[in-house]
Chain A
Amino acid sequence: MIAARAIGAPLDRIDGPLKVTGAAPYAFEFPAQDAGYAAIVQSTIAKGRVASIDAGAARALDGVLAVLTHENAPRVDSPDDASLRVLQSDAVAYYGQIVAAVVAQTLEIARYAAGLVAVTYAEHPHDVDLRADRTDLYKPEKVNAGAETDTSEGDVEAALAAAAVKIDHTYTTPYEHNNPLEMHSTIAEWSDDGITLHDSNQGPHNVLGDVAQAFGMQPERVRIISPYVGGGFGSKAFTHPHVILTVMAAKLAGRPVKTMLTRQQMFSLVGYRTPTIQRIRLGAGGDGKLTAIAHDVVEQTSTVEEFAEQTAVATRMMYAVPNRSTTHRLARLDVPTPTIFRAPGECPGMYALECAMDEMAIACGLDPVEFRLRNEPDIDPDTKLPFSSRGLVQCLREGAKRFGWDERDPKPRARREGRWHVGTGVAASTYPTRRRPSQALIRVDRDGTYSVLIDASDIGTGTWTALTQIAADALDVPVEQVRLEIGDSALPKAPGAGGSMGLASWGTAVCDAAQKLRARLHDDHGGVVPADGLEAHGNAGENPDAKRFSMHAFGAQFAEVRVDADTGEVRVPRLLGVFAIGRIINAKTGRSQLLGGMTMGLSMALHEETILDPRYGHFANHDFAEYHIATNADTLGIEAHWIDEDDPHVNPMGAKGIGEVGITGTAAAIANAVHHATGIRVRDLPIRLDKLLR
């Protein structure tokens, strides 16, 4: 591991002043000469065909430059992603699909004209009904992140039959939409050099290949520029249809075209978290040791392409259970395709698992912290590999101490303060620690400036700052001598921000480049920078230790909730998390990441739910007045801490990814606290007041 000097410091965001003064350009804000503005027309049926499109009134409007429909749109080829075959046929596969677009001289004209495009449909009956008892559920070949669809070890049924204590419960999570603050935006410009996009995404190289493939271009002729991105949460990880549409529109209009989705459009065009139906069965002996666990998941995908959330994967490795089985089954529905959403898999899965663990602890007559300690595994039960580090026990103990857990009376509905029922709950957190291959280039100039070039992404996470700190330590220079360039596909290829892998992947490549540069400077140039500077390429491959160790971040979250006795309103005065995440790179942005994850977990527990109206197949509450996200007033006291954890196996920084671990387990901690406060076990998120009203 590299020596930490800048690493660990709570360095202020390097991009902070630019952002608060409005000087950091987001995708839609880049200037584009004579740009046209695109407005999207969406299908108002969930399944069928476009029968006719009358765009006469729109075309006749002053300022309208082009109207795109399936009849005149440029042909694109997207064998790898069917959702990107935008306007390639008259088929409608989900409500809100793009069926036309208007390009005009101003955004106002474009939106007005889009409303004038008259589309008629041949409507077919749609099927948007996710139920566990559907007879056409199917088993996908793999689930997300390449995980096995089903796993089984031992004899779960026999162990359950023989168990002294057992539970069997079903937990559900609703549709949830990612909703980053910055709406998805793209500017497309064709030139003799090819296509240039200013785009809001989680990794320019993620988008590059899709655009090149769609338009039959060599990848070198496509450039994606994305220096500042206003949040993604997974919804900007993959290329979405509006990107392809904008490139088409620019081609047809013969000028640059800008597109920004409306908030409402984001509910159907950039993905969401699949609803899940999760049955969990647990069996234990009289000693409080688990003997069996079965986690069976039903969720959905679309008819356009397959997306299989890896909901039960954490269950495979969390606890020492000799008999285990996990399954995932999908319903293929007439809906938009789900996508990854902060901690896909682990987030909904750990909600269900950690609620079940709470219910089982109670059934066993054990404190829920003690119950988890009793079921701590020595090695990864699934892979049989040792953990590179596993700090769950320490997090539970440290969290219990900080939270004052030991004073807890386990009896539910036993504490009342004024009009409030008060309760506390605990849950574990986990997220895999991985990294992807990445490249980087570092150049040193005669004046001692080190330029670090890498197509990394800062989606609000703090990459600009944290990666600078890594580079400074790897180069053994002060951070002031490091100048970072990120967010541009012309820079050395790097993976996107996602899967809590960004900083680990980019940092490893930067360390490699730094090591090579320092060696070359020392060995070939006697430590003196030559007149025309010196550079070195870094190249980080797969982590060889990933085959020898099971690598995960862990955490423990403690919640105190108050439930109004008259109304069922839930408040969370205290939410405290302790995490085992290796070495923290930036104590300030890192803490923000954890707090952000926990806040989003609170939001999931209490608020977030998109309502699909089965009659139309549309999302009825597609705006911020109706789709509730936690506000400041809902987040009363959130604390994030971390333990000292030394893990030399994960990457040269010894740092585990922290973008997602914070959201896992939060909803369970709150649900468990609600049960402790009220005696009411809510197994269907979100926990709204009507579920607690007595």
Chain B
Amino acid sequence: MNPFRYERASDARSAVAMLAAAPAGAFLGGGTNLVDLMKLGVATPELLVDVARLPYDRIDALPDGGVRIGAAVKNSVLAADRTIRTRYPVLSQALLSGASGQLRNLATTGGNLLQRTRCVYFQDVTKPCNKRAPGSGCSARDGYNRSLAILGASEACVATHPSDMAVALVALDAVVRVQGPDGERAIPLADFHRLPGDEPQRDTVLAHGELITAVDVPALAFGARSKYRKVRDRASYAFALVSVAAALDMDGGVVRDVRLALGGVAHKPWRATRAEAVLRGAPANEETFRRAAGAELADAVPLSENAFKIPLARNVIARVLLDLAEGSR
């Protein structure tokens, strides 16, 4: 780990100012990802601005039926929140399927969104990696890529985003509220994370110095009928091979509305808009659900070791929707 300076910010404005003045600085939330990357030499910030203690630790129910989640709210607190569990069980389930109890007690809402994408070669400074060292090449394409992307990858990068929380949030149309040197802005979560393209070093659209202050989750009348299913290589404490976040609204035997997102398949939490389009107004049965999954996965491109993710994603999408449909009858 390289030597670095550590500052604790007293408010958002000064935090943003401190970081804006330090091009090689970084915000520190729970540190559960950043500190690991620092130990590995992957992240080498000269300055850490600790924002975990800023007063963004509230979960507020909004008058319109939505919820505002402060950026410093711990993952464990968010998962246990009664409003979240009632209105958006998919979010609580996603949080509880991630990491471990100890990590969830440290990890923050803002930090969770800002986890770097995962790939063993990104984490190994002795190997080529376009994300860590732009232009050096991608070691994963022809290497160990079992857990990597099948959707939206580029020649430059095939890494996957590791967050479970973000998959549920993107299904719920969450909006990220940000404060930067030039003021505040709101970014739909679906647009917050980037596909790698030819700039895989950029995981999100945030500019340097922009600080997440909150995540807004809009009201969703059928949010209570939602579910998160995570498939991984062991029963707990592993990243998703494929995960599915879904909420389903039924009108008799027909899908009135739906929210669907996938995790473990792309450089960003993957909102399954193509599948949603197939589902809306269609009969709620296995045939429809499989057809919807097929539409979403039509452009999936497997790597040398992860072709199984395509049938796996298809099966899990269908299973989750079937469970929700059966539960609502």
Interface residues of A (CB under 8 A from B): 44, 108, 111-112, 115, 419, 566-569, 571, 606-607, 611, 613, 615-616, 618, 620-621, 625-626, 628, 630-634, 688-690, 693
Contacts and interface: CB of A to CB of B under 8 A. Distances in A.
Contact of A632 (B233, B236, B308): B236
A616 B139 CA distance: 10
Interface in B2-54: 2-3, 41
B231 A571 contact: no
Given A607-B234, A628-B234, A628-B238, A567 B316 contact: yes
Given A567-B319, A607-B234, A633-B236, 12 more contacts: A607-B233, A613-B144, A616-B127, A618-B124, A620-B121, A620-B124, A620-B143, A621-B120, A621-B144, A631-B235, A689-B231, A693-B311
Contact of B234 (A112, A616, A630): A630
Nearest to B100: A631
A632 B235 CA distance: 9
B234 A606 contact: yes
Q: Which 5 A-B pairs have the closest CB atoms?
A: A690-B308, A633-B235, A633-B236, A620-B144, A566-B315
B2 A112 contact: yes
A108 B143 contact: no
Contact of B237 (A44, A568, A631): A631
Contact of A693 (B124, B127, B308): B308
B58 to A, nearest CB: 31
B316 A566 contact: yes
Given A44-B126, A628-B238, A631-B234, A615 B143 contact: yes
B1 interface: yes
B159 to A, nearest CB: 13
Contacts of B41: 115
A571 B319 CA distance: 18
Interface of B: 1-3, 41, 120-121, 124, 126-127, 139, 142-144, 231, 233-239, 241, 308, 311-312, 315-316, 318-319
Contacts of A634: 234-236
Contact of A613 (B143, B235, B241, B311): B143
Contacts of B238: 625, 628
A264 B50 CA distance: 28
14 contacts: A112-B1, A112-B3, A571-B235, A615-B142, A620-B121, A620-B124, A631-B235, A631-B237, A633-B234, A633-B236, A633-B237, A634-B234, A689-B231, A693-B311
Contacts of B241: 689
Nearest to B318: A566
A632 B100 CA distance: 12
Contacts of B318: 566
A115 B2 CA distance: 9
Contact of A567 (B124, B127, B139, B315): B315
B6 to A, nearest CB: 13
Nearest to A626: B120
A566 B3 contact: no
Given A625-B239, A628-B238, A689 B120 contact: no
A620 B120 contact: yes
Q: Is the interface of B mostly helix, strand, loop or mixed?
A: loop
A206 B41 CA distance: 36
Contacts of B142: 615
Contact of B233 (A108, A112, A115, A688): A688
Contact of A631 (B120, B236, B316): B236
A626 B2 CA distance: 24
A398 to B, nearest CB: 29
B210 to A, nearest CB: 28
Contacts of B311: 693
Nearest to B143: A613
Contacts of A419: 319
Contacts of A613: 139, 143-144
Nearest to B142: A615
Nearest to A688: B233
Candidate in A44, A111, A566, A611 with the most chain B CB atoms within 10 angstroms? A566
Contacts of A112: 1-3
Contacts of B316: 566-567
Nearest to A109: B3
A571 to B, nearest CB: 7
Contacts of A111: 1
A169 B159 CA distance: 37
A575 B102 CA distance: 28
A693 B143 contact: no
Candidate in A625, A633, A634 with the most chain B CB atoms within 10 angstroms? A625
A611 B139 CA distance: 14
Contacts of A615: 139, 142-143
Nearest to A612: B144
Contacts of A618: 124
B223 to A, nearest CB: 24
Nearest to B162: A625
B236 to A, nearest CB: 4
Nearest to A616: B127
Contacts of A569: 231
Contact of B319 (A566, A611, A621, A631): A566
Nearest to A571: B235
Contacts of A616: 127
A611 B238 CA distance: 17
Contacts of B120: 620-621, 626
Nearest to B44: A115
A328 to B, nearest CB: 29
Contact of A611 (B144, B231, B312): B144
A622 B308 CA distance: 23
Nearest to A606: B234
Contacts of A631: 234-237
Given A567-B315, A621-B120, A628 B233 contact: yes
A628 B237 CA distance: 9
Contacts of B121: 620
Nearest to B118: A625
Contact of B312 (A621, A628, A630, A689): A689
B3 to A, nearest CB: 7
Contacts of A108: 1
Nearest to A636: B235
A626 B143 CA distance: 14
B44 to A, nearest CB: 10
A112 B2 CA distance: 6
Contacts of A689: 231, 233, 241, 308, 312
B231 A567 contact: yes
Nearest to A607: B234
A569 B319 CA distance: 14
Contacts of A115: 2, 41
A616 B308 CA distance: 26
A620 B237 CA distance: 19
Contacts of B126: 44
Contacts of B235: 571, 631, 633-634
A368 B62 CA distance: 63
A621 B239 CA distance: 13
Contacts of B139: 613, 615
A283 to B, nearest CB: 36
Nearest to B314: A566
A365 B308 CA distance: 34
A626 B36 CA distance: 14
A176 B206 CA distance: 41
Contacts of A693: 308, 311-312, 315
A398 B3 CA distance: 61
A78 B139 CA distance: 38
B85 to A, nearest CB: 21
Contacts of B237: 631, 633
Contacts of B3: 112
A569 B234 CA distance: 8
A571 B236 CA distance: 12
Nearest to A568: B312
A631 B238 CA distance: 10
B161 to A, nearest CB: 15
A419 B320 CA distance: 12
